[in-house]
Structure 1
Amino acid sequence: MGNSNTMVGNVLANAARGAGFMRIWRRLVGGRSGSDVQLAGLQAFDNKQWALVDKLLQEAASPIDSETRMRARVRQLLDMYLHANGDDRVLFMQRLASGFGVDGAALEDAIVAYQEAQEPSDQLLAQARMADALESPRLRILKQFNLLPNGIESLVFMRAELLQSAQKESLAPLEQDLLRLLTLWFDAGFLELQRLSWNSSAALLEKLIRYEAVHEIKSWDDLRNRLDSDRRCYAFFHGRMPDEPLIFVEVALVSQLASNVQMLLDEAQPTHDTAQATTAIFYSISNAQPGLRGVSMGEFLIKRVVAQLSQEFPNLKTFATLSPVPGFAKWLHTRLADDDYVAQLPLQLRYMTEGEGDETRFERLQTIVQAQDCAHDSGLVTKDDLLVLKQWLQGECAHYLLNEKRRQEPLDPVARFHFGNGASLQQINWMGDTSPKGMRESLGLMVNYLYQLDAIDEQYHAFAKEGRLARSPEVKKMLTTRETLLVKP
C-alpha cells in the first residue's frame, strides 16, 4: 500500500504541472463527497505550508499587482489546494470564507458619498466607488483563477466540494462569492450547444452514463437506444471546460404525448420515423456539474433545443416533457399521518390506507399501488376501489403541484423549474414510472409539462408576477374530482 501511495503521489505531483491535472484529480476523487476525499499520497499541511498559504492569500487580495505575478501566485495556491487532503482543503476554504470580506467602513463611506452627491457626474463617481467597496478581497482572489487554463474548472469543483462539506454553514461567504462569479462566467451567452450521438467520443459517452440523474442508463445498449435516429441528446459546454458537459437533455421524437417512461425507453420498441414525428418529449434533464448548482442553464437549454428541433423537423408541433414528481410521496406521507385529513377520505380510501401492525398508512397505500393487479385478484380491493384510488392520487398530485407552495412557488422542484420556464401542466399519468425510484418518489405518477410556443412568454410572466400556474382542462377536472371525493367536516 505504501508503494502504491508513493506512486500515485508522484503521478499527482507531475500532473499538477500540466493542464491534465484536473482530469486525473476527478478520476481519483470520483463522486465521493468533498469531506470524505483523501487522495492517496497526500499529506496534511504543516505550519510552514499554512504560513505560505496565508502569505499568498494576503498578497492575492491586494487590488494592485501585475498579471504575471497574479498568475504565478494563483497557480501556486491552486496547486497547494489540490494537493491538500480532504480536511485541509476544507481548512483552506475556511480561510477564504472567514477572512477577506467587504470592508464595512469603506462601504459606509461610499454610501454617504453617494447620498451627498448632487451633480450627475458626482453621483456616477459615487456609484462606482460603492461598487468597488462591495467587491470583497475574496472576490478579487477568486477572479484571478480565471488567469489559469484550468482555473474556472477548479472553482467549479471547489464549490462542489464546498456544497457537500459538513462545514457548509461556515463556508457560506465563500459559497456566495463563488456562485456570483460562476453565474457570470457561465452565462448562456458563453455556452455552446452540442448534439451528442453514438459517434461522440467514448469518454463523453461514459460521462453521459455517469451523470444521468433522472432515469439510470443501465447498459451501453440502453445508451445506444437513447441515441438512436428517433432520439436526440443535447448538452451545453463552456469554452474553458470543453470536455465536460454542464447540463444535458434527452429527447424522444414520437407521434403523441408519452405517458410511460418504461415504454418510451423500451429497447424492443420499433424506431419511429422522424419524418412522421409530431411530438418532442423531453424525458430527462440532468445537471452534470454539482458545482454549478443554482446557476441558471436549464431554461436556456430547453429553449435552444426547441429552436434546433423546430428547424430540423418542421412537422414537430408539440413540445412536452415526461417528468418525475420527486416530492409527491414525501408530501403525501405527511398528509396521511394527519388524522384530520384521513377523516375526510371516503371509506374506500380509509380502508386501503389502514396499515397493519407497524405499517404506516402510506406504506400500506404503497403496497397496494405497487401490486394493484395482485391486490385485485386476491380480493383485497375491487376494481371500483382501484378507480377511486387512481382518481384520488391524481387529484392529490394535481393539488400538490398547483396549490402547495412556498411563497408563490411550487414545492416540487421539477414543477418549479418548468413553470418558471413558461410551461403548463398538461397531464398527470397513472403508472408513468413503475421503477423502484418512481414508486418510491411519486407512487408511479409522472406528468407532462407542455411548452406551447405561442404561450410561453405570457405564462412565464403570469408565474413570475402573480404566481399563476397554467394547467390544462384535464388537470382542472382532476382537481374538481378530488374535491368531490373528500368528505367535508
Structure 2
Amino acid sequence: MSMSLSSRFRLTGFRQLSRAWTEIEQTALSRITGRARPNLPVDDRGLIRQQIDDCLSETGGAVMARARAAGLGRTYLELNAEGRQNFLRLLAEDYGVGNHALKTAINQWLIYEKDSPALPNHDLLRAQSHLRDVLRSPRMRLLTQFNVLPQGLKFLCEMRAALLKIKQESDQLLAFDGELKDLLATWFDVGFLTLERITWDAPATLLEMLAEHEAVHSIRSWQDIKHRLAAPDRRCFAFTHEQMPHQPLIFVWVALTDGISDQIDELLKIDQKELDPNKADTAIFYSISSTQQGLDGVGFGSFLIKRVVDHLSRDHKQLKHFATLSPIPGFNRWLTEQRSVSTESQHPRVQNGLKALGELGALDRMFIDRSWLRNEIVTTRARQALTVLAAHYLVREKRDNSARDRVANFHLNNGASIARINFPADLSRRGQKQSAGMMVNYRYTLKDIESNHESYHDQGKIEQSRAITSLLKTKIAN
C-alpha cells in the first residue's frame, strides 16, 4: 500500500528533526570530549589546529613527539571522507610557507649576497640555511614525523590518495600535493625497494592482491593467474618497501619468449605451447601495475626496470633482448583533441593522418568497435595512418621536456628506446578505446640504459629505432 502524502511529510519531518538533534548531540560531545566530529565542521577545526600546533612545537623530546603524531593520525583516521578532505584543506590553507617569513629571509639573503666576497662567508651561508628552513612548510615538518611511526608511510600514502581527489580545487591544495609527492619520492626511491619474485605458492591474500591491482590486462580466473605465475616461461616480480613489507608497491609481469612479441592476445593465451625458459632469447615486460594510488606520479627513481633486467640477466644468461609490450593510453584523447584543432596550427603529418582515416570512415569507429577491421583494404590503409600518427604522438608531443604519454615517459625515463609500433596488437575493449588496438615495444639495452636516461632527462631526447624514424618521414597515402 502506498504511503499517504501527509505520512510522507510527517516521516520527512521526523528525519529532519532527528538529524538536527543528532547534530546538537554531536556538537555537545565534541565540546565535552575535545574530539572533532567525523565531518570536521568549521566549529571543530580549532581542535585540529591545536593538535597540529602541539606536534609542531617539538617540546617534550622524541617520545612525546611520536605520541602527539600518533594522536593526530588517529584523529584523522576517525574522520569520515568529508572530514578528511576538510583536514587536508586546513593543512593546505593554514600550514604552508609563510609569506612574511619568506620575504624577510629573502631580503636578509640579498643583503649578505650583495656584500659577500667571491666565496660565501659565514653570514651568507647562515642566511642560505635559514632560507631553506623557511621554504620547508610547517605541514611538511608535520608529515615528516609520521615516517617514524609503525605504518606511517602507509598512512601518508592513503592521505595523498585522498588529497589527489580534491587537489584541483585550489592553488594551495596543488602546492600541498606537490610537496607531499616530493616527500614520498625521497622515501620510495628504487634504491630503498626490495625486488622479490612472486610464484604460484604465494599466500592467497597476495594472489588476490595481484588480481585486484592488475591494471593493464585483467586477470579473468584462477586458471589465468596460475598460468601467469606457474608457467615455466612466465615471471612476476614485486617491489616492496621495508616499512610496508606486506604491501607490495609495484608488480612487474614478464614473459620469456622467442623474439619480441607484437600481440598481447598471443602472449596471454592460457592454452598456448609453453617455451623452455632456457631457450628464450627475449624477456617481454607486458604489464607494470602500481598498488598505491597515493604514489601516483612518484617515479620510484629512474632505474626501476633495470633492476628487473639485471635480475633476469643473472638467471637467464642467454637472454639477448629486453622489451615491453605497452599500451598507448593517451593516444585516443590526443587524437580527439586534434580533430577539434584548426588545420593551420596542426603539423602536416597529423593533418594527413586525420584526413586519411576520415576518408576511410574509420575515424569515428576505430576506438569503439571492430567492424572496420573486417575490411582488409581499410585495415591496411588505416595501419599506415595510425602508426604514423602514433609515432608522431610518442616522439613529438610533449609536456615541457617530457613525452606527453605517461607510459612513454615512464619507460623513456627508465632508459628505454622506442623500438616498434604494433597494429593490431590489443583488440580488447580497453586497448581499442585507448589506442585503436595499437601497442608499443620499448626496448631496454643494458649498455644504453643509463645514457638514454641521461639524454632524456637532461635534454628531452627520445631514443628511437630506425623503424620509428622512418615512420616520422612517411608520407601518408590518401
Normalised-by-shorter TM-score class: 0.7 to 0.9
Hey, what does 2:463 align to over in structure 1?
470
Q: Secondary structure at the match of 2:266?
A: helix
Equivalent residue runs for 1:99-110 within 5 Å? 99-110=94-105
Q: Which moved more, 1:160-169 or 1:190-199?
A: 160-169
CA distance in 2, matches of 1:286, 1:475: 26
Find the partner of 1:351 among 334, 350, 359: 359
Once the two structures are TM-superposed, the CA of residue 146 in structure 1 deviates from its matched residue by 2.1
CA 1:344–1:76 in structure 2 vs 1: closer, same or farther (change >3 Å)? closer
Partner of 1:60, secondary structure, is helix
Paired with 2:338 and 2:354, the residues of 1 have a C-alpha distance of 15
What's the offset of the Cα at 1:254? 0.8
Match of 1:323 among 318, 326, 335: 326
In structure 2, the CA distance between the partners of 1:47 and 1:425, relative to structure 1 (3 Å rule), is closer
Between the two proteins, the alignment pairs up a number of residues equal to 429
Query: Could you tell me how far 1:294 is from its partner in structure 2?
Result: 2.1
Matched residue, 1:460: 453
For the residue of structure 1 that corresponds to 2:272, the secondary structure is coil
Q: State the distance in 2 between where 1:388 and 1:414 align.
A: 26
Which residue identity is paired with 1:301? L
- Say which SS state the counterpart of residue 269 (structure 2) adopts: coil
* Partner of residue 8, structure 2: none
Question: For the structure 1 residues 65 and 465, does the alpha-carbon distance in structure 2 shift closer, same or farther, using more than 3 Å as the test?
Answer: same
- Which stretch shifts more, 434-443 or 409-418? 409-418
Q: C-alpha displacement at 1:215, in angstroms? A: 1.0
Selected match of 1:53 from 44, 48, 52 = 48
The answer (yes or no) to whether the contact 2:413–2:456 under 8 Å persists in 1 is yes
CA contact (8 A) 2:213 2:291 kept: yes
The answer on 1:362 being equivalent to 2:363 is yes
Instruction: Give the aligned partner of residue 275 of structure 1.
Output: 278
Q: 2:210 aligns with which of 208, 211, 229?
A: 208
Q: How does 1:305-316 map to 2 (within 5 A)?
A: 305-316=308-319
Task: Give the corresponding residue for 1:371.
Answer: 371
Alignment of 1:255-270 (within 5 A): 255-270=258-273
Q: What is the CA–CA distance in structure 2 between the aligned matches of 1:480 and 1:437, rounded to whole Å?
A: 29
Q: State which of 69, 76, 83 in structure 2 corresponds to 1:81.
A: 76
Superposed CA deviations along residues 25-68 of structure 1, whole A, max 9, x for unmatched, are: xxxxxxxxxxxxxxxxx944578854432211111122444222
* Aligned residue number for residue 246 of structure 1: 249
Q: SS of 1:454's equivalent?
A: helix
* 1:230 alignment counterpart: 233
Structure 2 unmatched ranges of 5 or more:
1-36
Greater displacement, 300-309 / 464-473 = 464-473
Q: Is the 8 A contact 1:250 1:285 kept in 2?
A: yes
Check whether the contact 1:234–1:249 (CA below 8 A) recurs between aligned residues: yes
The question of whether the paired residues in 1 share the 8 Å contact of 2:97 and 2:134 is answered with yes
**More divergent stretch after superposition (398-407 vs 193-202):** 398-407
SS for the counterpart of 1:286 is strand
Q: Counterpart of 1:450 in 2: which secondary structure? A: strand
CA-to-partner distance for each residue in 1:220-275, whole Å, 9 max, x for gaps? 11111111221111121111111111112111111110011111010001221111
- Aligned residue in 2 for 1:192: 194
Distance 1:478 1:106, change over 3 A: closer
| Structure 1 gap segments, 5+ residues each | 1-41, 354-360, 377-382
Deviation at 1:316, TM superposition (A): 0.7
Deviates more, 1:73-82 or 1:101-110: 101-110
The residue aligned with 1:380 is none
CA–CA distance in 2 between the matches of 1:339 and 1:165? Answer: 33
Structure 1 residue 106 displacement after superposition:
3.1
CA shift for structure 1 position 105 = 3.3
Q: How far apart are the structure 1 equivalents of 2:167 and 2:353? A: 42
Structure-2 change in CA distance of 1:55 and 1:433 (3 Å): same
- The structural deviation recorded for 1:149 is 0.5
Whole-Å Cα distance in 2 between the matches of residues 129 and 394 of structure 1?
54
TM-aligned CA deviation for residue 314 of structure 1: 0.3
Deviations 1:277-322 (A, max 9, x none): 1100011111111111222227432010011111111001100000
> Which amino acid is the alignment partner of residue 360 of structure 2?
M
CA 1:328–1:348 in structure 2 vs 1: closer, same or farther (change >3 Å)? closer
Q: 8 Å contact 2:384–2:476 — kept in the other structure?
A: no
Q: Report the equivalent of 2:130.
A: 129
> Contact 1:336/1:362 (CA < 8 Å) preserved in 2?
no
Is 1:485 the counterpart of 2:477? The answer is yes
For the residue of structure 2 that corresponds to 1:79, the secondary structure is helix
TM-score (structure 1 length as normaliser)? 0.81
The reply on whether 1:415 has 2:408 as its aligned counterpart is yes
For residue 325 of structure 1, report the CA deviation from its aligned partner.
0.8
CA distance in 1, matches of 2:169, 2:357: 43
When the two chains are superposed, the root-mean-square deviation of aligned CA atoms in Å is 2.6
1:69 counterpart residue number: 64
**Does the aligned pair in 2 maintain the 1:62–1:137 contact within 8 Å?**
no
Give the SS at the match of 2:464: coil
User: Is the 1:352–1:364 contact (alpha carbons within 8 Å) kept by the matching residues of 2?
Assistant: no
Q: Specify whether residues 234 and 157 from structure 1 end up closer, same or farther in structure 2 by C-alpha distance, changes over 3 A only.
A: same
Counterparts in 2 of 1:348 and 1:107: CA distance versus 1, 3 Å = closer
Indicate conservation of the 8 Å contact 1:346/1:485, yes or no.
no
Distance in 2 (alpha carbons) for counterparts of 1:44 and 1:217: 37
The alpha carbon displacement at 1:438 in A equals 0.6
Q: 2-side partners of 1:201 and 1:125: how far apart?
A: 54
2:57 match: secondary structure: coil
- CA offsets 1:400-458 (integer angstroms, 9 cap, x no match): 21122233322211112222222111111111101011111111111101111222233
Query: d(CA) in 1 for partners of 2:40 and 2:356?
Result: 65
Secondary structure at the aligned position of 2:446 is classed as: coil
Distance 1:211 1:221 in 2: 17
